Amino acid sequence: MKDFSIDIYADGAVVSEMVAAKEKGIVKGFTTNPTLMKRAGITDYVGFAKEALEKVSGLPISFEVFSDDFDTMKKEAEKIASLGKNVFVKIPITNTKGESSVPLIKELSDEGIQVNVTAILTIEQVEEVLPAFKQGSDNIVSVFAGRVADTGVDPTELMKKSVELVKANGNAKLLWASCREVLNIKQADDLGVDIITVTTPVLNKLHMIGTDAKELSLETVKGFAADVKSLGFSIL
């Protein structure tokens, strides 16, 4: 597999998959979110977080707050942060009312909490949040490039500008979120993005990097043939 400068983080909430990703030696950290936790059937947030931290000890991991009001969000963030030094607390850039989370992010950063600002989709949001980070602190700015691409817009210009802003600020790393395919890793790496989050299905495709196209074509045809055989019927 090609060596990338970008750090690959595994995105998920299944502890066994997180352990498997760590054992492969490819990933440098982990991210979770409420949607992934729901999909994984998590019923005990703190229990899940503690187990994950124990199993992937030493690597950075992001856990997201659940609340939609800022006062409760702050209490949740402080509790999550207390679970370990390698924990980053994910705070969405706004709540569901569209109210900016930047004042809360500033409070948390001033307290020494490592923040992962999530659900960012515009350059204006990147510009808005960077000044909130305490000087010399360690944070993550997660730009959902994959969701931008889902709207039919090429996210590379957004990510290029974000790289410039984040590097100039010096108190955060830029994360390409919502990776859809292996190509996104190369795109993010070429642009100088610091981190990309990758789900298990994409992680499982990393072995394909550098595969000869002719060989892949033959493999594809063989796959079709195997499926034809399993169907057990014919056209004629």
Q: Is 8 exposed, middle or buried (0-12, 13-18, 19+ CB in 10 A)?
A: buried
By the 8 A CB rule, do 96 and 68 touch?
yes
Q: Which of 22, 74, 90, 173 does the annotation list as catalytic?
A: 90
SS3 111: coil
Residue 74 among the catalytic residues:
no
Interhelix angle for 15-23 vs 45-55, to 10°? 20
CA distance 139 to 174: 9
Measured between alpha carbons, how far is residue 1 from residues 18, 186, 207, 208, 209 in Å?
20, 12, 6, 8, 6
Question: Which tokens in the block code for residue 62?
Answer: 């992001």
CA distance 77 to 127: 23
By the 8 A CB rule, do 119 and 142 touch?
yes
Longest dimension (CA), the chain: 73
Catalytic machinery residues = 90
